[in-house]
Amino acid sequence: MSNEFIKMISDLNERRLLRTMQNLVANKTPCGIFFAPDVPSNARQIVDSFKGGGLNLNCVCVLSGEHKKFFPPADAEQLVAVNEFPTLPDKPKFIFVLSGFFPNMFMDYFGRYGTKMITSANVNGAEAQYNNYLKHLPELYDVHEMLADDESKKVFRAAITGRITRLMQDFIFTTEYEYFLNGFLPEKGDIAIDGGAFDGATSADFARQGAKVYAFEMDAKNYQNCIAPAEKFGFTIENLGLSNQSGTARYSGTGGAGSHKDSRGALTAKFIDLDTYVAQKNLPRVDYIKLDIEGAELDMLHGAAKTITRWKPKMAVSAYHKPEDLWTLATYIKSLRGDYEFQFRHHPCDRKLEVNGSTAWAALKRFNLSCRTPSEYDMILYCK
């Protein structure tokens, strides 16, 4: 077993969130909390809850001076706007962010002053994750050793670590844009499958590279949003979900990136397995597959077994929706074709369209921060 993997596992026992919280309480370590872009109506209760658990939470940070009026500080609490944070004489060692993607954008900002970002206080959830990973250490190690390069192995170990510690700085984020890792892209003339087209932007990117793209979008509203770019850039858009078999199933979501198959969902959609689709359309081959289908990736791969075995397409597969994605996806793909090579990257998510023109956008520009947001999501398994 590699020394790096062994060290990661041995370190996790003391670095997991439970131990961190216990140490923060025992040592009375100065902590803070960051409410942004807005201050929630229950902010006072949140802070009091942290303090009731024994944390020395003495700093509350908000986005601007204007936001200060929404939080009444108690005695000995420092209430500061982001721009005032550098002037604090005793900066918190850790700062909690508990909601939404926007606060994560300030990871580097707080990091400049030695403050680490904790993204959850859910100790029970982190412990369940920790125990689950311990249970599946052999599978995790096997995937670690399948990865072709040292960078992939470092990122993979960091993905495990960050999910257990809930420290955003423990993850390793790449500079490359999601799905666009050199050597794992569709080329001119390739037949490409885009599973989870969302708004059609990625399908359009693949089409611009000269690929013949067949895009699949389960959600009815998202599908409608894909029609215009499909016509403009010349790709095929199907109002179908990809799965392990053809049929109709329920899903949750009314547009947006999080629509997913759900037996309790209020909406219904048609699904198809890729092997059947390839046969129906008489496709001569499949050269590339991109998958981001909200946790249904393994089901889809089962429904594409013949396609993958026959043509060994390059693939970019989302590996973050379920904890077990870190080991089940690569293991299954390798069982189909033992000659697959894997790389693993963790991408920040580009949120520019969501914040552009807003107060939040102005704040990011003011502090020289990127819209590419660090998170525990957007981990991609690249295959060729």
Q: How far apart are CA 7 and CA 89, in angstroms?
A: 36
Q: How far apart are CA 71 and CA 88, in angstroms?
A: 18
Mean pLDDT of the chain: 93
Cβ atoms of 257 and 198 closer than 8 Å: yes
Which CATH class for the 3-123 domain? alpha beta
Q: What is the mean pLDDT of residues 366-380?
A: 91
Q: What was the pLDDT predicted at 281?
A: 98
Q: What was the pLDDT predicted at 76?
A: 87
Asked if the model's pLDDT at residue 361 lies above 80, the reply is no
Q: What was the pLDDT predicted at 261?
A: 61
Provide the pLDDT confidence category of residue 260 given band limits of 50, 70 and 90: low
Asked if the model's pLDDT at residue 354 lies above 80, the reply is no
**Residue 363, phi then psi, degrees to nearest 5:** -65, -40
Q: What is the pLDDT of residues 117-176, one digit of tens each?
A: 999 999 999 999 999 999 999 999 999 999 999 999 999 999 999 999 999 999 999 999
**Nearest residue to 213 (alpha-carbon basis) of 232, 234, 243:** 234
55-58, Cβ contacts within 8 angstroms, sequence gap of 24 or more? 55/21, 55/24, 55/25, 55/31, 56/24, 56/25, 56/28, 56/29, 56/30, 56/31, 57/31, 57/32, 57/33, 57/96, 58/30, 58/31, 58/32, 58/92
Q: What was the pLDDT predicted at 251?
A: 72
Q: What was the pLDDT predicted at 247?
A: 87
Q: How many CA atoms lie less than 13 Å away from 292 in the CB half-sphere?
A: 19
Q: Is the fold of 3-123 the same as that of 191-383?
A: yes
Asked if the model's pLDDT at residue 256 lies above 90, the reply is no
Dihedral (Cα; 267, 273, 276, 282), 10-degree rounding = 90
249 torsion bin: left (phi>0), alpha (psi -120 to 50), beta (else): beta
Q: What was the pLDDT predicted at 344?
A: 99
**Considering the entire predicted model, what is its pTM?**
0.93
Q: Which residue has the tokens 């010349």?
A: 234
Which CATH class for the 191-383 domain? alpha beta
The per-residue DSSP string of 77-142 comes to -EEEEGGGGGG-SS--SEEE--SSSGGGGGHHHHHTTTPEEE----HHHHHHHHHHHHHTHHHHHH
Q: What was the pLDDT predicted at 267?
A: 76
Side chain identity, residue 257: A
Domains of the chain, residue spans? 3-123, 191-383
Q: What was the pLDDT predicted at 249?
A: 77
DSSP state of 263: T
Lowest-confidence segment of 56-60, 311-315, 354-358 by average pLDDT: 354-358
